Amino acid sequence: MGLEAKLQTDGYIATTIDAVVAWARRSSVWPMPLGISCCAIEMIASADPKFDISRFGSEVMRFTPRQCDLLIVAGTVTYKMAKVVRRIYDQMPDPKWVIAMGVCTSTGGMYRSYSVVQGIDQFLPVDVYTAGCPPRPENLLNALITIQEKIDKTKARDFQDLKLK
């Protein structure tokens, strides 16, 4: 391939630590699937061979928040469940990202009742919203690509806050 040929002729690669860390984070996003209702079926379908979420390095869906860096909230969130969702989010290590999957997660959907949260952005910082009721697996993969682009723009260390003495 191109990289092996380049290494045989020059013997070195010039890059930055920020680029290497961003590449590693982007290529291994581990989602915490939080399937609360019908959107979870479409989230599960994104892992089958037709859609193949493993192409993006995200096939490792862990069910423990301490090993995940992406929270996918799929479904209708009630106020009673909101506390659980927030606790799961708080247990995830930094840096972490959130995808609000589906219209019920994003805006409460068709449920305009006292028990349904009208958008999880009321208690969580959301990075990407996916549209649909339920959203197709392609929408989730598009949201994952958006998260990866966001990760590429992050820095491994903020050098402006580093004070040398």
160 band by pLDDT with thresholds 50, 70 and 90: very low
- Residue 35 included in any domain: yes
Kindly state the tokens that stand for 75. Answer: 């479904």
Strand, helix or coil for residue 70 = strand
User: How many angstroms separate the Cα of 66 from the Cα of each of 70, 90, 162?
Assistant: 11, 9, 28
Kindly state the tokens that stand for 72. Answer: 């996918």
Number of folded domains that form the chain: 1
- Residue 29 included in any domain: yes
- Residue 79 included in any domain: yes
Highest mean pLDDT among 10-14, 51-55, 122-126, 155-159: 122-126
- Residue 157 included in any domain: no
Q: In what order do the strands lie in the sheet with 70-74?
A: 31-35, 70-74, 97-101, 128-130
pLDDT tens-digit map of 91-141: 988 888 899 988 888 887 777 788 888 888 889 999 999 888 888 888 888
Domain that holds residue 38: 10-152
Instruction: Give the CATH number of the domain where residue 122 resides.
Output: 3.40.50.12280
Higher pLDDT, 50 or 140: 140
Q: Are 70 and 101 in contact (CB under 8 A)?
A: no
- Residue 3 included in any domain: no
- Residue 77 included in any domain: yes
pLDDT tens-digit map of 7-17: 677 666 667 77
pTM for the model stands at 0.77
- Residue 165 included in any domain: no
Give every CB contact of residue 57 below 8 A, 6+ residues apart in sequence. Answer: 26, 27, 28, 29
- Residue 160 included in any domain: no
